[in-house]
Amino acid sequence: MSLLEIIKNSDNSKLLDLSCDQDEITLTIAHDYFDKIIRITFPFQNFFSSFSSKSDGICFLSIENIKDTLNVKNGVYIPSTDFGDFMYDVREGNSSGYGLRESKFKIFFKVIGSFKVVIPVENFEKIKIEFLNN
């Protein structure tokens, strides 16, 4: 099962846990469609999270092209000069892409519910997927 299949069928999933160490972030998700607990581990430089123990965890997963969301100058993602757009990017977690190189980071991986988790992805091949026993 590929990450894209997991994302495509992720409606009514539940983020159970989010943890990070020095260079990896791990999401543990109860995937409703596949009826499995899935652990996804990403290498990261920056990420945004408004997830907390008070969140209900109900979510869906998505991916977005960073360049469709953020401005680029000299090959680096930068904040919008429009204050409203800038504040939108901060609220949505897109600001986690500021300062990253466009040539290296192309995609945002997002977990969206009553909270948001946004992870700029450098290389999909370095993302680890594990299926845990329910």
Which burial class, exposed, middle or buried, applies to 15 when counting CB atoms under 10 A from its CB (0-12, 13-18, 19+)? buried
Partners of 132 in the β-ladder: 37
Structure pTM? Answer: 0.92
Per-residue pLDDT of the chain (134 residues; tens, 9 = 90+): 789 999 999 999 999 999 999 899 999 999 989 999 999 999 988 999 999 888 899 999 999 999 999 999 999 999 999 999 999 999 999 999 999 999 999 999 999 999 999 999 999 899 999 999 76
pLDDT at 133: 74
**The pair of three-digit structure tokens given for residue 15, joined into one six-digit string:** 């983020």
**If you write DSSP's letter for every residue of 65-108 in order, what string do you get?**
EGGGTSEEETTEEE--SSHHHHHHHHHHTGGGGTT-BTTT--EE
